[in-house]
Amino acid sequence: MKDRPKRITIADIAREAGVSAMTVSRVINHSRDVSDKTRQKIERIIEQFDFHPSSIARRMTGKVNKALCILSEKDGLKKSIHSITFDSEMLRLLVVEGSRHGYRIVISATEYANGKKQDFEKLASEGSVFGFILLDLIDHDPRLDILRQLGVPVVLLGRTFSPFDNFYAVGTNDELGGFSATEYLIRQGRKKIAFLCFQTFSKPAIDRLNGYKSALERHQLPVDDSLICFYFRMTEEISGYEGMQQILNTNVPDAVFCTSDLRAIGAIRAIQEAGYKVPEDIAVIGFDGHPMAEFYNIPITTIQQPFLQMAEHTVDVFNRLERHESAIKSIISLNGKLIQRGSA
């Protein structure tokens, strides 16, 4: 049996031309940010390699495929849709905002371990999508390098760092949010504040922890490691419940900053079962602005993430790229909003 011919990708064209994949992508997307000499060289190589001429023809005439592909980890996407946490709220708003600007939204459930390079290459190289949105980035995520090699625009949603030149980031200032949540509790007269989080490898979690520590230090309160708990279970509510039990068994605080509203719901149950009152004995503040937080039996004070603004800015990045604008911010950091309710 003969081997199937290798599919030519943007990365192959870039290597042949001696330029970056992003430069090839700019030529394909008819961007003005490439010199005439470089553009002509790349176009000759594209023609020489017969690089998906139907896709190239569409793009060279300025007809951009207005589809955006949202990448989410396979199991994580399923869980987020059921719990209506960050991913599902952003999915809903991206579909609404994207359609308002003429973009179709495609959702691809991927696996961290496999990376699915061939699938990404097919979507990008054949012109099936204009850009990618990555929802659930993890440390050393294998998808980043694959997307970098493809040279297509990528928005890291919920993050405030951009690792490569074709990457953009739109997210909440998590460190400021952690600082604001903790300082609010301090101004309420709380001096022994616990920190309850889901996982240690998440950059937003680490940023919120740094904000928590900064607020304590600003107000000359000690950072007590026995009050810092990273607790992982299958759901955020269970994590909050069992993590809070662990804190109560070690060192009873007078307040707790939970890094999500669902975690705060679990924590409140553990506090009440232990015989303490919220907020009289232990104040609780969450993070996210989850719809359930307002209607829980004790409405939860929270730092509300600007979900709508994040969706608007994400779609706007692709709009600006489509118009070939050069001055596009690579990192957009938005501030959360303190919502005061009954739990703190």
Q: For each successive 10 residues of the chain (344 residues), what is the average pLDDT?
A: 57 84 71 78 84 48 68 55 60 91 82 57 64 80 79 87 84 97 98 89 88 98 96 85 96 96 96 98 95 92 95 94 81 96 96
Q: What is the CB neighbour count within 10 angstroms for residue 100? A: 11
Residues contacting residue 44 through CB under 8 Å, at least 6 positions apart: none
> Residue 209's pLDDT is what?
96
Residue 199: inside a domain, yes or no?
yes
pTM value is 0.78
pLDDT of residue 335: 97
Residue 66 lies in a domain: no
> By the 8 A CB rule, do 197 and 229 touch?
yes
Position 63 scores a pLDDT of: 47
Helix 261-273 to helix 236-250 angle (10° resolution) is 40
204 lies in some domain: yes
Residue 45: CATH number of its domain: 1.10.260.40
pLDDT, residue 324, reads 76
105 residue type, one letter: I
- Residue 342 falls inside a structural domain: no
Q: Could you give the number of structural domains in the chain?
A: 2
**Amino acid at residue number 195:** F
Do 293 and 299 form a contact (C-beta atoms < 8 A)?
Answer: yes
Distance in angstroms (rounded) separating the CA atoms of residues 23 and 152: 10
3-state secondary structure 28-87: HCCCCCCCHHHHHHHHHHHHHCCCCHHHHHHHHCCCCCCEEEEEEEHHHHHHHHHHCCHH
Whether 325 is in a domain gets the answer: no
Q: Which CATH number covers residue 294? A: 3.40.50.2300
| Domain limits for position 245 | 174-304
Is residue 222 included in any domain, yes or no?
yes
Is 277 within a domain? yes
Distance CA 294, CA 182 (A): 20
- Domain closes at, from 19, 44, 60: 60
**Structural domain contains residue 273:** yes
